[in-house]
Structure formats: structure tokens, C-alpha cells
Structure 1
Amino acid sequence: MAQSVIVIGGGIGGLTAGALLAKVGYDVTVLEASREWGGCAGKFKRGPYTFAVGATLGMGFENGGIHDRILRFLDISVKSLLLEKVMYIHMPDQTFIFHRNRNQHVTELQKVFPSYGSNLRAFYQDVYDIASEIRKLMKPLPVLPPTTFKEWFMLFRSLSITSPRLLPYFNQTLSTLLHKHGLADVADFVHLIDAQIIDSMQATNETCSLLLGCLALDIYHEGAFYVEGGLFQVAYSLAQCITEHNGNTKLGRKVVAVEKTEEGWTVRDHRGDMYKAQHVICNVPIGNLQQFLAPTIMSKLPSSFHNKVTTMQWGAFTLYLAIKEEVILPHTPLFQQVLTGKGMSEGEHLFLSLSHPDDRKRAPSGTRTLTVSTHIDLSKWETKDAYDKRKSYMTEKMLENIQCVFPQLHEGIIKIITGAPRAWERFAGRAGVGGFPQSTKHALFQSVSHRTGIPGLWLCGDTIFPGAGTIGVSVSGYHVFRSITNNKYQLP
């Protein structure tokens, strides 16, 4: 009889673990509280328009990337477009084009900052060398922090003869590298760097882990993709894979209780339905576990878990727009950032994602969808009066800043929807997004393991190593799969 697994949460991390396990014969049931798959990489529809909830720019679909490896293992195909020009970044005085080609990227930066040409070349040489060294370690996807002999063995086996080069940087922040190359006081360049790492690392150069910061700066060059329809296509393909391998996927099933029994685990949803399994995979933020885990179980979780629960997380404020094609200039890039020079949150840094003109899965002909997001401090939204005022203020501020990219935006708006913290709570069951800041206090060996120390209870998602983004949560889901199957299977 196949071992049974219950996955709580239908985000990409949980669906990845569930699909991999179903593929190799496990009896998998996925319970998702909302009516959509994908979590923060999900979707919603308004009339003929489909909007990506959060994550939009695809990473890891290149040959050998984590999504490529997982999807090939599962025999899943997702249509994506490789971007040679990754995005346009609009600064107060000029626009910078982020090129996939590493050399071209540095050359363009040297044109923007001509007084620091040699500094920039040396800085990026370090960034690319460090990132290349980290990728050697990542190929076998070792677990951090290692908690078993096998995990320690896999970590040491991942090391190469050149791995010791990383040791001097291990507890350093990305600002160390900026100071090393005389760039820490070049305010516009530092602002540009922060804009590139804030979405994936949830931190700026002063606190971001140097090693992970280099990886975040380099990953765009490995491959950035537009996924037709949206990244939610990955989630829906994983859910379909589970059902094709005799698993069960249930939407609108909020888990309210998880109990340990002599036979394994019992899970109860809000409708009173009961499920039994040998394994439970919790694909929720670790701060949400207390909503359904009994205090006796919570008390057995490791200290690394309890130390992280109260860690600050960013919120997000998002505008979802349907706009007329006629107000969009020809050859407008699909991904853009707008920087005001005044910070990385509260509408001063915007990430824009525009649907492809031929993507009929998102919008009818002659129209496009546009998603615009910014980081926010959730403490500013705590009272009803503050919430309503903040929502109105942020909407107007973001629309004003978007006009530097789309000057005729107001003439072309067909529909506008706001995504404020309460909307995130209703849709994704959380106000904080993006996981923990990948600082030296929370990254690498300071991360939370997918192992709980309780037999049969596992964790994955953006608050578990290696962190946020579809790449991070997919890796955490794979780690759970590998542990449950006792390392029997390996990705191609």
C-alpha cells in the first residue's frame, strides 16, 4: 500500500512536493484554503482579464534551472519566453536597460556611471565569480541548515576545490563588496543594486547576505522569462500532475486542526472532513502554523522555528490594471522598474509587469493587463482609518509614478483593482509576503530547515530554506520530497 501524504497549502512549494511524490507512487492529497492554486504566484479573473497575484517574472526555466529540472522530471511543459532585455529601470534622470548578457550589462552601466568604469567592472567580476562558485554548490541542491548525517554528507560532497574562496564572505553583507570596490558612496548605483535585490532577497545591501546577494544579482543573467498566461500556469500544471497520478487536489478547504496519532496524522478542514496520512507537509508561512497545530506539537518544534516567527516581513501593495493597447508605445518592455530615488518601499520603488501583446490568456485583443507592486510597512495599515487613507494615498501615488512609463495611462484605463494587505490576507492567507529578509541573521545556516524534528511533519514555502520566490519554494518542496523518499530519486 502506498504511503499517504497530506499537503496543506496549494502554493508552488507544496504543489511541487505533492507532484513529485505523486509521480513516484505516493497517495497525495492537497488541501488549499482559497479557490485558486499558486498562493502568491496565483491568479484571479475579472471579466475577460486574468491577473497574476504577485510573482510575475519567471526564473529557473533555463536549461538546468530548478523549474526546468522539476518540470522535466514530471514530464510537464510550460510555455515561456526568454528575455534578452530583462527589464528597463527608470531612474529620476535616465533609464537603464538590464541586459541578460553579462558583459553587455556591465558595459551599459559604465555608460551610466562613466567615472566608475573600472570599479564597476571589478565589482561585477567579483559578483559573477562568487555566484558561479555558489551554483557549483547548488547543483546537487544541498540542505541548509543540515540536521542529519546525510544532509551534512551531501553538503560536503557538494564542495569543490575552489569552494573555500567563499569563506571570507560568509558572514558579510553585500555592502562589503560595494565598499571594497569604492562604490558604496555612489548613491544612484547603490539604489540600482537595492532595486534588483529587494524583490528576491527582501533586503537591501546593508543587511543582505553577500553570498545570496551576488546570486540574486547574477540570476537574471542565467535566464529571465515571460511565462505565457502567468506563473500560475506552473501551479496549475503541478496540480494537474497530481491528479493524473491518482492524487486528490481540493480547493476551498481550510485546515483547522492537525493531530498526531499512533497511526500517523489526522487533518481536519473547516467543513469537518477528516484526512489521515503518514506524512503532513505544511506549505504555509511558519507564523501561520499555530492556526492549526496543537500547542503540544508547536512546543516540539526546534528553537530555530520559534526564533523566526516574530521576524518582520514586508507587505505589498499592488495595482492590477486592464488598459487599452493604444496607450502603450510600440516595443514597450514587459518588465520595468520605476525608482524615485527616495527609497525601496511605499511607492518609491515600483515593479511593473505588462502582459505580452499576443497573450490572449491574460487579455482580449486590443487590451493588456498591467500589474504594479511596491513593498510596504504593514505597521502603517493597522487601524481602519489609517488603512483607508493609506489605500487611497498609495493608489494615487503609484498611478502618478507609473505615468513616467505610460504618459497616457489615465486615458487607457479600463479597469483598476487594488491589492492591499487585507486582500492579501483573504486571497493568500497572509499579510506579509516574500518570506524573511535574506540577511546574515536569517539566511543560509540561519535558515529554517524543512525538517521539524517531528516524524512525518514537514515544512516548505518561502519562510523555509532557501527562501522566497518560485525558485526558493520549489527547492524547499524538492527537499521535502527527497527526505520523504529517503533520497531515492534525483532530478535530471
Structure 2
Amino acid sequence: MAYDVGVVGAGFGGLAAAAELSKQGKNVIVFEASNELGGSAGKYERNGYRFQSGATVGMGFEEGGVFDTLFKSLQLQKPPMTLLNPIMDIHMPDRTIHYYREKKEWYQEIERNFPESASSIQAFYDEVFYVGQLVDQLLDRVPVFPPKTPTDWTRLVSMVNPTSVRLLPYLNQTVYDRLKKYHLHEHELFRIFLNGELMDSVQTSVEYCPAFLGYAALQTFHKGAYAVHGGLATVAEQLADYVKSCGNEVLLRYPIHHIEKKHGHFHLHSKRNSIFEVEKLVLNHSVHNLPDTLSEDLMKQSYIHPEKENNREAWGAFIIHAGVDERVFQHTDVSYHQFIAPDHPDDLHDGGQFLLSLSAPEDIRMAPEGKRSLTISTHTDVKQWWDADDYEQKKEEMKDRLIDTVEHYFPGFKEGLDIVLPGTPVTFQKWLRRRDGKVGGYAPTGRYSWLNSYSIRSGIKDVYLCGDTVFPGAGTLGVTLSGLMAARELLR
């Protein structure tokens, strides 16, 4: 039996694609190498706690958002969630900034923290919201980018209108360039704050972030950020259940080791010498992994050059999952915290800045009574973690560095910790099959770096890509959009 479509990887991109294809009546089979759904936004359970593998903040559930639209299309009920306001607290060396969702409250917070530059920063954010709305209007039409076929180019040209033309000044500048307009490029404190938000969302700093991309990310926080009860894995489970309700299959612990094409069908080799035949493919297991999966003949047909891919820089993540006594955070109602290390605020990785997310006190699925589940995550250079001689020492030092920083801002944190489980890029390769432990796609490297994106087109007939390594990029919103794009192109 040959399936209509095989989807490799049950991250958010693969599950969104599978759900969309299932809705359209396609015979779909989904393969996931691990025993959990959601990929880098999945979960696992240990000692009565549920831990979120990576991404923790829910975006796109507001009216008209990506997940709101998808759930309505599939006639699914959104899971219970809490709208965050403030979104998070940013703990800087000399102050804590409350990052409010509502524009009025946020502008008041700007006046409180940056009184001498408040009007300039508010004007900058006026521009952020303006450009973010322009980007949203274009993404509603979900273009294939970068264009690879005459049809792609035709669709892109058709999108040239007064709205898209207004975006032109922001397509060839960085966020840093735009800061110059408001005389903010030398405002050290605001730059440190902004770098923290951009590292969280776009994986880079103001100097290297294309303006339109950074603006789209910054305004997304203010559209609606949510704590999804049970974690984002709850959303992945709903999408998988929908796929199965349509009579299709979602197989866990089924890694795809090799893909080749024979007699007009793709042959997917999995465990115990099992082989599955599919007519078309959606690959959600990252561009990093393609050379290890596709046959030599298929790889030659693709747009991906293995040597170039291996040398392309991408971040990894150092992560700590832990349980903590709820009394440690009893004096704050905020569940999401960003920490700027007091002794090295300009470092954007390896503990210089990092995020801590706490489960909601009322979310009993995440932690035992009186406890809260937490995830700490910082960007890290993947190369340093593959030296076996001092691996354990490095892991222990990084764990202590992060915990010490939280202790600095929340005295009693160390004493209140229960279970503590650190993870490195080595962990991400082992459990999520991310080659070299690379996660989060590719960091922008300058004003025109967005032109180097991979599109959903692989270059191989009937093979489509989705996930954080293709346009529109990382984050649950980006990967979900790419999955929907891949499904819709496949259906054309």
C-alpha cells in the first residue's frame, strides 16, 4: 500500500501539514523518531513533573492569529490558556522591566525605565507596530519564499501593491540602522534590552537583524502571548488526534533512516527493516538532517548543498528542567522571566541572557501540589559541547552559572529546587535527532541575510520542507506557517 503523503517529523510544522492534508482527504502517515509529539516544543514527564522541551510561550492564539485560524479551520477547541500581561519580567543588572502586552501600559513602562529617551523609544515602537502590521498583511497570503519556480515569481510579483511598497525601506536595513533614526543606537541600556528580546525571537542582535524581521517579531509579543495549560505539547496532541480522527496514522518511535525513490514512489526505511511507500513527502526534520536521510541520488536533485549546510552557523540550546517550591516565586504573578546576567550583560548566549518559564500555579498537570515546573534556556555555541574530555565539567559549570544568576534575583531559588535536569546540544541530538544539536533555525547575519533562506521547495519533485530551517523561520508560529505552506503547495 502506498500512502498519498508521508510526513517525517511530528513537530509543529509536520503536524500542521498533516492536519491540513487530512482535512483535504489525503491518506497521510506521520513518522516521529522520539516518543513525544511537538519536536522542540514537545514535553516529557519525570517524577510527577511535566517539562517543556524548548518553546514555552504560546503565540498566535489571538483572534485571527495563526493557531486561532487553524483551529477554527479544523473545528477544534483551543486548549485552556492564560493571556499574559505582563508578558514577562526582564531582570537587568540595575532594574526589572515589566514587558506589558497592552501598548498604553508598555509606553508607561518605557517612561518609567527610560525617562530621558521615552519619546524616542515610543516613536521607535510606533514604527515597530506599523511595520509589523504590514508584514502580517503579506503573510496572510503565505508566499513561497525565496521563489524557485515561475509560479512562485508570478505570485510574488502579484503581491507588489501600496502595502508591500511601504515595506521597502525596512528590507535593506537592520534594526540597528533604524535605531539611528531615533538616536537610540548608542543607548546602551535600551540596546541590551532589545538584544534580549531579539535573541529570544529571532536568534540575533540589533546589529545583524533585518529590520522587517525584527519588527515582526517584536510586535508579535504585543498581539497576545499565552501560557497554554499543559504546555504547548497539548496543542501538538490535539493536531495529532485530529490527523488520527481522519483515519490517518501518527507513528511514534519510528525514525526514518533512509529515503530513496523507486518505481515512482518514495521508499522510507524505518526500524526493524520496515519500509513504507508514499507518493509525496513533507520533511519536518530540519535541513540539517537531510544529507543523513536522503539517498545520494535525491540529495543531488535538492537545492541543499551538504558541505555548505555543514558550515552554516546555527545556535544550540543549553536547557535546565527543574521543579521548584512555589514559595520561591510567591511575590510575583509573572510566570515568564528573562535574566540579563549582572556581570556580563552584553553576552547574548551561554548564560549572558536566558529565559525562565514557570508553570502556572493552577496547572496541576505540570507539577505536584506546592511545586512548579520550570524551564531555563540559553543559546549556546554547539561546537564546544562535542569535546568528551570536559563535557561533564562544562555542563556542571553552565548549570551553576544559570542557577546562580536566578539566585541573584530570587534569593532562596537554590534551596527551593527539587529535581534538576540539565541538557546540552548533545541531549538535543540524542532525543530530538537534531544533527549536532542545532535548534532554532539560522540566525540572521545582516540586512540581506533573509535572502539566503531556504524555501519549502526542496528541489526534488514532490518533496517539500517545513520547520525552523525554512522560511518563515523559527518559533512555533514560523514552523506552523511553513507546514501549512508546504501542505497547500502539495495540494495545488
Tell me the alpha carbon deviations over residues 2-30 of structure 1, each in whole angstroms, 9 at most, x when there is no partner: 96111111111111101111121111111
Matching residue's letter, 2:261: K
Residue equivalent to 2:138:
137
1:43-62 alignment, distance < 5 Å: 43-62=43-62
- CA–CA distance in structure 2, aligned partners of residues 405 and 245 of structure 1: 49
Distance 1:313 1:237, change over 3 A: same
1:154-303 alignment, distance < 5 Å: 154-302=155-303
Residue equivalent to 1:347:
351
- CA–CA distance in structure 1, aligned partners of residues 159 and 337 of structure 2: 36
* Residue 20 of structure 2 is aligned to residue 20 of structure 1: yes
Matching residue's letter, 1:375: H
Tell me the alpha carbon deviations over residues 35-60 of structure 1, each in whole angstroms, 9 at most, x when there is no partner: 11111001011021100010001111
Residue equivalent to 1:489:
none
* Residue 367 of structure 2 is aligned to residue 367 of structure 1: no
The 8 Å contact of residues 286 and 309 in structure 1, kept in 2 or not, is answered as no
Residue equivalent to 1:395:
399
Residue equivalent to 1:113:
114
1:444-459 alignment, distance < 5 Å: 444-459=450-465
Quick check: 151-160 or 162-171, which moved more?
151-160
Matching residue's letter, 2:39: G
- CA–CA distance in structure 2, aligned partners of residues 434 and 423 of structure 1: 15
Residue equivalent to 2:411:
407
Tell me the alpha carbon deviations over residues 358-409 of structure 1, each in whole angstroms, 9 at most, x when there is no partner: 0011012211111111111122222112322210110111111011343111
Distance 1:215 1:278, change over 3 A: same
RMSD: 1.8
The 8 Å contact of residues 280 and 462 in structure 2, kept in 1 or not, is answered as yes
Tell me the alpha carbon deviations over residues 105-135 of structure 1, each in whole angstroms, 9 at most, x when there is no partner: 1331122111112221221122121112111
- CA–CA distance in structure 2, aligned partners of residues 454 and 420 of structure 1: 33
Distance 1:62 1:439, change over 3 A: farther
Residue equivalent to 1:479:
485
Distance 1:309 1:72, change over 3 A: farther
- CA–CA distance in structure 1, aligned partners of residues 144 and 450 of structure 2: 9
Matching residue's letter, 1:95: T
- CA–CA distance in structure 2, aligned partners of residues 65 and 215 of structure 1: 13
Q: 2:441 aligns with which of 435, 439, 442?
A: 435
Matching residue's letter, 1:369: S
Residue equivalent to 2:323:
322
Tell me the alpha carbon deviations over residues 411-435 of structure 1, each in whole angstroms, 9 at most, x when there is no partner: 2212111112221111111201111
Quick check: 373-382 or 214-223, which moved more?
373-382
The 8 Å contact of residues 2 and 25 in structure 1, kept in 2 or not, is answered as no
**1:338 to partner: Cα distance:** 0.6
Quick check: 473-482 or 63-72, which moved more?
63-72
The 8 Å contact of residues 460 and 477 in structure 1, kept in 2 or not, is answered as yes
Report the TM-score when normalising by structure 2. 0.95
Quick check: 293-302 or 352-361, which moved more?
293-302
Residue equivalent to 2:423:
419
Matching residue's letter, 1:48: G
The 8 Å contact of residues 450 and 479 in structure 1, kept in 2 or not, is answered as yes
Structure 1 unaligned regions, length at least 5: 487-492
Residue equivalent to 2:8:
8
Find the residue that maps to 1:277 and give its secondary structure. Answer: strand
The alignment of Structure 1 onto Structure 2 pairs a total of residues equal to 486
**1:234 to partner: Cα distance:** 1.2
Residue equivalent to 1:29:
29
The 8 Å contact of residues 386 and 426 in structure 2, kept in 1 or not, is answered as no
Find the residue that maps to 1:162 and give its secondary structure. Answer: helix
Matching residue's letter, 1:483: E
Find the residue that maps to 1:332 and give its secondary structure. Answer: coil
Matching residue's letter, 1:474: T
Find the residue that maps to 1:372 and give its secondary structure. Answer: strand
- Give me the identity figure in percent: 35
- CA–CA distance in structure 2, aligned partners of residues 461 and 274 of structure 1: 24
**1:303 to partner: Cα distance:** 5.6
Find the residue that maps to 1:85 and give its secondary structure. Answer: coil
Residue equivalent to 1:490:
none
**1:304 to partner: Cα distance:** 7.4
The 8 Å contact of residues 438 and 467 in structure 1, kept in 2 or not, is answered as no
Matching residue's letter, 1:268: H
**1:309 to partner: Cα distance:** 4.5
Tell me the alpha carbon deviations over residues 60-87 of structure 1, each in whole angstroms, 9 at most, x when there is no partner: 1111111111121112222222112111
Matching residue's letter, 1:451: R
